[in-house]
Amino acid sequence: MKPLEWNWYIEYTSAHHGYLYAIKKTLFSDETPFQRVDIVDTFTYGRLLVLDGKTQSAEFDEHIYHEALVHPAAMLHNGPKEVMIMGGGEGAVLRELCRYPQLEQIVMVDIDSKVVQMCREHLPEWHQGAFEDSRVELLHQDARAYLEGTNRKFDIIYSDLTEPAEEGPSKLLFTKEFYKMVKTKLNPGGILAVQAGGFSLDYLTIHAAIRNTMELAFDSVRSYHTFIPSFDCSWGYIIAGVKPDQLAVGRAEIDRRLGAIAGQLKFYDGETHEGMFCLPKDVRRALQEDQTIIEDDKPVDF
Amino acid sequence: MKPLEWNWYIEYTSAHHGYLYAIKKTLFSDETPFQRVDIVDTFTYGRLLVLDGKTQSAEFDEHIYHEALVHPAAMLHNGPKEVMIMGGGEGAVLRELCRYPQLEQIVMVDIDSKVVQMCREHLPEWHQGAFEDSRVELLHQDARAYLEGTNRKFDIIYSDLTEPAEEGPSKLLFTKEFYKMVKTKLNPGGILAVQAGGFSLDYLTIHAAIRNTMELAFDSVRSYHTFIPSFDCSWGYIIAGVKPDQLAVGRAEIDRRLGAIAGQLKFYDGETHEGMFCLPKDVRRALQEDQTIIEDDKPVDF
Amino acid sequence: MKPLEWNWYIEYTSAHHGYLYAIKKTLFSDETPFQRVDIVDTFTYGRLLVLDGKTQSAEFDEHIYHEALVHPAAMLHNGPKEVMIMGGGEGAVLRELCRYPQLEQIVMVDIDSKVVQMCREHLPEWHQGAFEDSRVELLHQDARAYLEGTNRKFDIIYSDLTEPAEEGPSKLLFTKEFYKMVKTKLNPGGILAVQAGGFSLDYLTIHAAIRNTMELAFDSVRSYHTFIPSFDCSWGYIIAGVKPDQLAVGRAEIDRRLGAIAGQLKFYDGETHEGMFCLPKDVRRALQEDQTIIEDDKPVDF
Amino acid sequence: MKPLEWNWYIEYTSAHHGYLYAIKKTLFSDETPFQRVDIVDTFTYGRLLVLDGKTQSAEFDEHIYHEALVHPAAMLHNGPKEVMIMGGGEGAVLRELCRYPQLEQIVMVDIDSKVVQMCREHLPEWHQGAFEDSRVELLHQDARAYLEGTNRKFDIIYSDLTEPAEEGPSKLLFTKEFYKMVKTKLNPGGILAVQAGGFSLDYLTIHAAIRNTMELAFDSVRSYHTFIPSFDCSWGYIIAGVKPDQLAVGRAEIDRRLGAIAGQLKFYDGETHEGMFCLPKDVRRALQEDQTIIEDDKPVDF
C-alpha cells in the first residue's frame, strides 16, 4: 500500500482532544534559552512556527491571525504615530504595520533573538522584508523590563505573545500589575491590542482570564474573534482603551478609513470587522460568568 | 504511569489532517441498510452521533449547530405555518421548530428509521420529546422520492442531511435537478435552509459547490456561518428564497421578532445573527472563484 | 478521498510510545464492578478483549498466547490430574486444557462473571464450548480468597490474570505473600505457570518483578517467551516448580509427549518449546540486574 | 495540564495498524537523490534513522539488529577473509565485522553517500569509528552494478538494504536474477546473509517472498529471527549457502567459536543463536504456504 505519512504534529488541547497535522519536513528544531523552537512544513497548512509545542502561525492563514490583530486597533485609533509590539517574532505584525505611511516609529521587543533569526531565514512570506523598514527598531529583551525602564509612550501597543504557561517566557506579561504599568505607557487615546487565546465555548479559560485582568486596568475592554483554520479553532483578541462610541463604527466607515491599504489586505475589511465584533450569545454568557484574574503572585496555570 | 485513554475517534478531514477525540464509551455501533451508525460518549464533547465516520452533532454544542440551522429562516420568513425537514435524525431540528406556536405542521422525512430510533433512545437531550408533538409527521423514506410524489407545499424546507458522499444516502439530495424540484414544493415566499458543510478557507469545496448549485434554482442565495467547537471548524449554512431587502434586518429587529422564544435559546439572538451573516473577505473571494456544480449525472466526489 | 478509518484503539505503553489499531466495530463496552470491559473488532487482528484499556487476547493470535501458557507446564509435569486456573475469562486456557484426557478436574476462578459471560457470547472461537466440559468447575470469586479458603491441592496452577495495576482486581495476586500461599496449594511435583508481562528489553519491569517475587517462594523459577503479533511485543511467561533436570528435555521428547494432541495445536511443538526457553543475552543480563520485589504492603506501580 | 508531546513518528504497517513514537528532536530531515532521510531523537528508543518513513535502526537496540545480522554467518563460515556489505549506511555492520581480526578486506557498497555522511555525523554510537578501519573500502554506487562489474569474490556477502518498495533504491536487489548473480560472486563455502523483513504471523509476506526467491539460487536457505523492541515486531533474517550439517551446531560450540569476541557483544551468544534458529510451528507452516517469487520484471509491491 501507499504508506500514510509518518511524521505528525499532534497539538493536544487537553488529554482528551487534539489536532493532527502531517509534517512534510522539519526545517528547524532546537532549544533556545527561552523555549523549544520548531519550524515544520506541513501538507495542509504549509510552514508552521511552533513554540513549546504550540502553533504560533501558519503559512496558509497567518494573514488572518495577523490582520485581525493589527488593523482593528489601527482603524479605531485617531491617528497613531508611534507603536510598539511585544513579541511578534515572525515579523508579520511588523509587515502589517509597515503598510501605514503615517506611522513614524515601530518598536518591536521580542526576548528571543534566535526565534527572530530563524523566522527571518525560514519564513520570508511572513515578514516580507519588514525588518528592513527604517521606522523599525528591533530589541531583544523582556518586554516588561523594557517598558518599565523606558520614558517612551506609544499610541498603540500590540501584545503578540505566547500563552502565559507556567514555564514560558510570557508568564508575567498577562498580569494585573503588568497591564496597569502598560497603561501608563500609552499616550492619551492610546490602545492596547492583545492576541488573547482560544475563543471557543470549550476553550475560553485563557481568554476570559486575560479579559478580566485587563478590565482591572482599563475602562473599556472589548473582545473580538475570528476562526483560524490552522488553529482548528475560533481565536480571540482583546482591545482596550477604545471608547464605546468609537466602536460604533459601521462597515462602510471602516472601508473608507482603510483607503488605499484595502487592496493589500486579504482578510480584513469593513464586513470582516463587523463580524469579528459580534459575539455569540453563549460565549457572551460564558465570559460573564468567568471571574479568573491573573496576578504576578498568582499566575494562572491553564 | 496513569494510562492515556485508549479509545479514540480520529476524524480525518484529509490524509494529512484530522481531529482526535478520546472516547469514554461506545453506546451503539452498527450498520443500517443505509450507513454505519455509531453513538459514542467522548470526554470533551459528551455524546456524539457519528454517521459513516463523520460527526453529525455533539451533546456539548448541538445547540449551536441546530439553532443556527433553524432560526434564521424562521426569523426571515413572513409567517411560516407548514415546514418540512429532510434528514434531521437526532430530532433537534424538530425540537427547535416546536418552540414556534404558529407552526401548524412539521413533516420530517429521514430515510433511516434505525438512526432515528437510536437517537430517541440514546440522545434524549437532543429531541427533548419533540417527536411526541402532535404537529409532527415522521416518515422514513427517501426525501427526494417523498417530495417528488407529494402535492404538498411548504413555507420552509430544512435540509439537515449528511454530506453528499459517493456511497452515502444523501448523494442525490444536493444536485441541480433536486434543488429545481424542491423550489416547486415551496409556497410563495418560501425558504430553503441547508446545512452546507465546512466554512473554512481550507475546506470550502463542499460549501461552494452546494451554493453554486442552489444558485441555478433560486434567485437569492446567501451563505452564513458559525464556529462549532466539536467540529473544530467554522460551519456553513445556506438560505435561499430570501430577498436582499428582507435580509437587511438589524439585530434589534431580530430580537423583537424572537420575542418569548429568546429565553429558550442558548446561541441565537440578534447579535449572533448579525455576526453569522458577515463573511470574511478571503472566504468571499474564494467562494466567488469556485465554479463547481453538482448534477445528478455528475455528483461531486469530495 | 477515501476516508481513513475513524475509530482507533491506541494502546500506550508509556506517554511516549504506543500501538494503533483501527476498530471496525465495538461489540461490547461497559464497566463491571471490577473493571472496564470492551470487546472490539479490529481490521488487523479481528476481535480483541480489552480490560481497563489493555489487550488481553486477539482472535488472530490468541492461540499463541494460550498455547504458550498452557502446554509447557503440562508437558513438564509428571502426569497432572487436577489443575486450577486463576482468571482466564476468555475460556481459552480451558479449551487448551480440555485437550488432555488424563485431566480429571479443572477449577477456574475468575472474579468477574460479566467478563466471562461476554466472552462466552462474543468470543466463541476462544472457548469453543470448553465451559460445557464436565470436568470444569467455574467459580466467580477472588482467586486469592478461594485458595486461602480451600483444602484442595492442585498439580498445576495457571495464573492468567490482568497486570497488577494499582486499581485493578489482580493487585494482590502477584505478591510475595500470595506466591508463598500458592505453593502450599500444590501437590508434590506441582507447577505454577504464570503469564508474566512484556518480555522486551524496554519493557521488562513487570516480568522481572514477578520473577524476583516468585523466586522468594519457589526454588526453581524459569522465564520463557514468544512474540505475539497483536501485542506488538515479545511476551513473557514464568514457570515455577520444575527442577532443572526436568527442563533439559529436547524437542523430540516434547513432540513424543504431545502425541495425539500435536495435531490440534497451531503454535506449540518441540521446536517452538525449545525456542521459547532460549533467552537473549541482553535480556538475561537485564533480568539479573533487576531487584524489584512485590509485597502485599508494597505493590509495585508500573 | 502538562502537555503531551506534540511531535510523533507514526510507522504505519498498514492502513489499519501502526506504531507511535514521540519525537524529542529532529536532527536531520532532507531528500537525497535516492530517498527521504530523517534522523530523529525519540524519547523511548533514542535516535532513529528513518528512510522513506521506515525505521532502519534505533540507538536503543541497533545492537540486536546488527549483531543478529552479522554473527551467525561469521560463526557458521569456515574462516572468512573477504566480506562485502550491500547497504549498511549506519556503519554498524562494519563495526561488528571489524571485531574479527581474521578479516582482511571489508567492502561496503551503499548507493547513498548523503545517508552515510549523516550517519557518520549524527550516529557515532553506531559506527564507533569503524569507517576508519584500514580494511574497509567504502563505495557509493548501486550494489548490483558493482557486483556485476567486479571480478572479486567474497566469503560472506551481507545484504543490509531497505525494503524492496516500488520506488526505493533497493527494488532490484531482491530478485531471482540478482540472487543468481550474487551466488557467482561467492567463494566456495561462501554465505549470503540477508536482513529479510518482518517475521510476524501477520507480516510475513516480504520475508516469505525473499526466502522463496533465494531458494531459486541457493540449495540451502534458512530463516532465523529475533524480536526487536523499536520495530515492535519480530524480525527475520535469511542465511544461504550453509549446509544443514554445518547448522547443527550447539550453543556451547558457538560460545567456543566466539572466543574473545564474546565479551564485546551485548545480544549474541550461543543461547541466543539457538533461540533464533527455532521457528514457531505456525510461522513454519505459513512460510511453506507462501509461493511468491520476486523477479526483475515482476517486483512485488508489498
Helices (H), chain A: 62-76, 92-97, 113-122, 124-127, 143-149, 176-183, 205-215, 244-247, 251-258, 270-276, 281-289
DSSP notation for chain C: -PPPP-EEEEEEEETTEEEEEEEEEEEEEEE-SS-EEEEEEETTTEEEEEETTEEEEETTTHHHHHHHHHHHHHHHSS---EEEEEE-TTSHHHHHHTT-TT--EEEEE-S-HHHHHHHHHH-HHHHTTGGG-TTEEEE-S-HHHHHHH----EEEEEEE-----TTSTTTTSSSHHHHHHHHTTEEEEEEEEEEEEE-BTTB-HHHHHHHHHHHTT-S-EEEEEEEEGGGTEEEEEEEES--HHHH---HHHHHHHHGGGGGG-SS-SHHHHHHHT---HHHHHHHHH-----BTTB----
Decide if A279 touches B, using CB distance below 8 A: yes
Residue C26 lies in a domain: no
Q: Which of these three, D39, D58, D77, is where a domain ends? A: D58
Decide if C9 touches B, using CB distance below 8 A: yes
The Cα C3–Cα B16 span in angstroms is 11
CB contact under 8 A, D280 and C275: yes
Which residues of chain C neighbour B53 with C-beta distances below 8 Å? 3, 5-7
pLDDT, chain C, mean = 95
Identity of the residue in B17, B20, B281 whose CB atom sits nearest the CB atom of A268 = B281
Q: Do A44 and A173 reside in the same domain of the chain?
A: no
Identity of the residue in B10, B16, B202 whose CB atom sits nearest the CB atom of A229 = B202
Q: Do A282 and A234 reside in the same domain of the chain?
A: yes
Chain A contacts in chain B segment 212-271 (CB below 8 A) = 226-227, 229-230, 232-234, 251, 265-269, 271
Three cell numbers at B146? Answer: 417523498
Each residue's pLDDT, cut to its tens digit, for chain B (302 residues) gives 345 788 999 988 888 999 999 999 999 999 999 999 999 999 999 999 999 989 999 999 999 999 999 999 999 999 999 999 999 999 999 999 999 999 999 999 999 999 999 999 999 999 999 999 999 999 999 999 999 999 999 999 999 999 887 777 888 999 999 999 999 999 999 999 999 999 999 989 999 999 999 999 999 999 999 999 999 999 999 999 999 888 989 999 999 999 999 999 999 999 999 999 999 999 999 999 999 999 999 877 65
Residue C11 lies in a domain: no
pLDDT at B1 (0 to 100): 39
> Any idea which of D17-26, D54-63, D94-103 has the lowest mean pLDDT?
D17-26
Q: Do D37 and D158 reside in the same domain of the chain?
A: no
Give the range of the structural domain holding residue A234, as residue numbers without chain letter: 62-289
pLDDT at C4 (0 to 100): 73
CB contact under 8 A, A26 and D38: yes
Decide if A78 touches D, using CB distance below 8 A: no
pLDDT at A302 (0 to 100): 59
pLDDT confidence band for D1 (50 / 70 / 90) = very low
Residues of chain A with pLDDT under 70: 1-3, 301-302
Residue B295 lies in a domain: no
Chain A contacts in chain B segment 197-216 (CB below 8 A) = 199-203
Q: Do A112 and A41 reside in the same domain of the chain?
A: no
pLDDT at C169 (0 to 100): 83
Q: Do D120 and D205 reside in the same domain of the chain?
A: yes
Which residues of chain A neighbour D50 with C-beta distances below 8 Å? 6
pLDDT, chain D, mean = 95
The number of distinct structural domains making up chain D is 2
Known catalytic membership, residue A290: no
Q: What is the CATH number of the domain that holds A275?
A: 3.40.50.150
pLDDT at D197 (0 to 100): 95
Q: What is the CATH number of the domain that holds A51?
A: 2.30.140.10
The mean pLDDT of C256-273, rounded to a whole number, is 97
Which residues of chain B neighbour A64 with C-beta distances below 8 Å? 201, 280, 282
Instruction: Kindly name the residue from D160, D255, D282, D296 that is annotated as catalytic.
Output: D160
The Cα C100–Cα C264 span in angstroms is 11
CB contact under 8 A, C278 and D281: no
pTM, rounded to two decimals: 0.92
pLDDT in tens, D49-92: 999 989 999 999 999 999 999 999 999 999 999 999 999 999 99
Q: Do B141 and B22 reside in the same domain of the chain?
A: no
Give how far D10 is from chain C: nearest CA, Å: 9
Chain C contacts in chain D segment 26-45 (CB below 8 A) = 42-45
Decide if D151 touches A, using CB distance below 8 A: no
Which residues of chain B neighbour A226 with C-beta distances below 8 Å? 280
Residue B147 lies in a domain: yes
Q: Which of these three, D19, D42, D58, is where a domain ends? A: D58
Q: Do D19 and D151 reside in the same domain of the chain?
A: no
Q: Where are the beta strands (DSSP E) in D126-245?
A: 136-139, 154-160, 186-198, 221-228, 233-240
Which residues of chain A neighbour D231 with C-beta distances below 8 Å? none
Taking a C-beta distance cutoff of 8 angstroms, is the pair C246, C189 a contact? no
Identity of the residue in B44, B203, B230 whose CB atom sits nearest the CB atom of A16 = B44
Identity of the residue in A17, A203, A271 whose CB atom sits nearest the CB atom of B21 = A17
- The predicted complex's ipTM stands at 0.95
Provide the CA A39 distance to its chain's centre, in angstroms. 18
Contacts B–C by Cβ distance under 8 A: 63
Interface test with C, best of D13, D223, D282, D288 (most C CBs within 10 A): D282
Q: Which of C31, C29, C26, C23 is nearest to C6 (CA)?
A: C23
pLDDT at A80 (0 to 100): 97
Residue B238 lies in a domain: yes
Q: Do D239 and D114 reside in the same domain of the chain?
A: yes
pLDDT confidence band for C302 (50 / 70 / 90) = low
Residues 6+ away with beta carbon under 8 Å from D54: A3, A6, D11, D162, D163
Q: Do A216 and A150 reside in the same domain of the chain?
A: yes
Q: Do B170 and B212 reside in the same domain of the chain?
A: yes
pLDDT at C301 (0 to 100): 63
Q: Do B71 and B216 reside in the same domain of the chain?
A: yes
CB contact under 8 A, C64 and D282: yes
The Cα C156–Cα C143 span in angstroms is 15
pLDDT at C167 (0 to 100): 74
Three cell numbers at A180? Answer: 496597569
Residue C102 lies in a domain: yes
Three cell numbers at C278? Answer: 532460549
The Cα B35–Cα B15 span in angstroms is 22
Residue D1 lies in a domain: no
Cα-based distances in Å from D143 to D70, D110, D113, D131: 18, 7, 13, 18
Q: Do D116 and D201 reside in the same domain of the chain?
A: yes
pLDDT at D301 (0 to 100): 63
Angle between helical axes of C62-76 and C251-258 (0-180°, round to 10) = 90
Residue C302 lies in a domain: no
pLDDT at D164 (0 to 100): 83
Which residues of chain A neighbour D162 with C-beta distances below 8 Å? none
Interface test with C, best of D201, D204, D258 (most C CBs within 10 A): D201
Q: Which of A39, C201, C18 is nearest to D58 (CA)?
A: C201
* Backbone dihedral angles phi then psi of residue C197, each to the nearest 5 degrees: 80, 180
* Backbone dihedral angles phi then psi of residue C55, each to the nearest 5 degrees: -60, 130
Q: Which amino acid type is present at position A103?
A: L
